[in-house]
Amino acid sequence: MRGSGCDNIDVVKVVVSACLLGLPVRYNGKDKKTNHPVLERWIGEGRVVSVCPEVLGGLGTPRPPAEIIHVGGVRRVHANDGRDVTAEFEQGAADALEQAIRHGAPVAILKEGSPSCGSTYVYDGTFTGARVDGEGVAAALFRRYGVRVFSEDDLDAAAEYVAALDRRT
Ligand code: SF4
């Protein structure tokens, strides 16, 4: 039955960055909870699948901040302590995608600007706060596998997209 549970198998599922749901999983040990009514409604409808790619990849919380760089055209992720964390980010992205597939979620709301979850911009690898157009490791993987990615800044458009999917099911 639609809209009646916390894990409703009869509705279109939506993967959501765990930090947007209030889980303190960010690099600094804090959350980025958004109280947007669309997200609140989706939680009530049992649509939401919470994931944190960086935690899934085995990184602790708190952890050093990380940014994406390109070395010889190859994407790497490095932390501000100099450690290369590309493998952890890629593993976490794969695990997050696996969760989306397992739940049949065709849509994801991912935290903008993150080296994992950013969908329109990320930081430029200099740890100076400078932004560049681009996407995080998990967002890129989700898109490659056909999951439609929105940021928390685009929840109204995401709601329209999910409603259109609902009408088709
Ligand atoms: S990896 Fe994504 S879900 Fe996890 S803290 Fe960073 S932005 Fe949030």
- 23-81 per-position pLDDT tens digit: 999 999 999 999 999 999 999 999 999 999 999 999 999 999 999 999 999 999 999 99
Residue 33 within a domain: yes
Residue 90 lies in a domain: yes
**Does some domain include residue 4?**
no
The number of distinct structural domains making up the chain is 1
| Ligand 1 atom closest to Cα of residue 17 | 3
**Residue 3 domain-assigned (yes or no):** no
The answer to the question of residue 6 being in a domain is: no
DSSP 84: B
8, part of any domain: no
In a domain, 20, yes or no: yes
Pocket of ligand 1 (CB under 6 A): 17-19, 25-26, 52-54, 111, 114, 116-117
Residue 106 maps to a domain: yes
Structural domain that includes position 110? 14-168
Q: pLDDT tens digit string along 95-144?
A: 999 999 999 999 999 999 999 999 999 999 999 999 999 999 999 999 99
Written as one letter, the residue type at 27 is Y
**Dihedral angle computed from the Cα positions of residues 126, 19, 36 and 144, in that order, rounded to the nearest 10 degrees:** 70
Give nearest CA residue, ligand 1 atom 5: 26
